[in-house]
Amino acid sequence: MARCSNIILGILNGFALIIGIGIIAWVISIRKHWGTECMQLLLVPLLAIGIVISVFSLVGLIGACCRSNFYLWIYMFMLAIWIIGLVVGAVFMFYVAGSRSEMQEQGQKSWLQTYYLVGKRWPAVRNCLVQGKICQLMLSEATSLEEFQMENTRHPIQDGCCRPPDGCGFEFKNATFWTVPKTGLVKKDGDCMVWNNQPDNLCFDCDRCKELFVSDLRKDALYFGISLTFELLFVVITYSVGCCAKRNNETRYYPG
């Protein structure tokens, strides 16, 4: 039984070690081709996660292969901290994903709105959207406003940040170039006055762009929370197998 639990623990940690090394290799490869400041903000946490997974797995693998309770104690302690972190992270992600309706009923801003739209954080996000060229990547073969409105290939953020709001009265020229008609705009307030045809401006400062960005983050938070839940399940199973391996190793060396 001791050998069986150690084999299972070794397989689980070997699998996790491959994932950790894969994440590190992928991040290093991406950094060579996408060295922008915005990508760095995303890749640094991923690199840290890859290193942590690799270290945890290596310690667990040594403990399982050598049947060393010393390494298994260290491994179990690190896993316990990791489990607590995953629980906190998953709860927070689900809170962020589900906070919109409750906040709207109370007339308050959600955590995401407060964090990203208040203060100096939005300019940094705006720069990332511009550097990412999300509007230049918007595929459209429309030759009229009617054709453009019928297209369903745009991402919601592109729809909110790369074109003027509906109801302003701008004349369609192409996906990212709109002109003011001779009769003037229908509405002359809010986001209608923010729109600018310059590629670095467009509607990146529009309230609609900001709200759609936050809404997209909220969806990402839900998916991230679900992935953390599955990761938590995997870590708990690994922790349980580790407990069995440690206990069986003790029985092997100190029978009776």
Confidence at residue 107, expressed as pLDDT on a 0 to 100 scale: 46
Confidence at residue 254, expressed as pLDDT on a 0 to 100 scale: 47
Give 165's DSSP letter: P
Confidence at residue 33, expressed as pLDDT on a 0 to 100 scale: 63
155 contacts: CB under 8 Å, gap ≥ 6:
134
* DSSP 3-state of 5: helix
Confidence at residue 55, expressed as pLDDT on a 0 to 100 scale: 94
Between CA 213 and CA 175 the distance in angstroms is 19
6 contacts: CB under 8 Å, gap ≥ 6:
64, 65, 67, 245, 248, 249
Weakly modelled stretches of the chain, pLDDT under 50? 1, 103, 105-107, 254-256
Confidence at residue 156, expressed as pLDDT on a 0 to 100 scale: 86
Confidence at residue 255, expressed as pLDDT on a 0 to 100 scale: 47
Confidence at residue 105, expressed as pLDDT on a 0 to 100 scale: 47
Here the tokens at position 35 are 């060295």
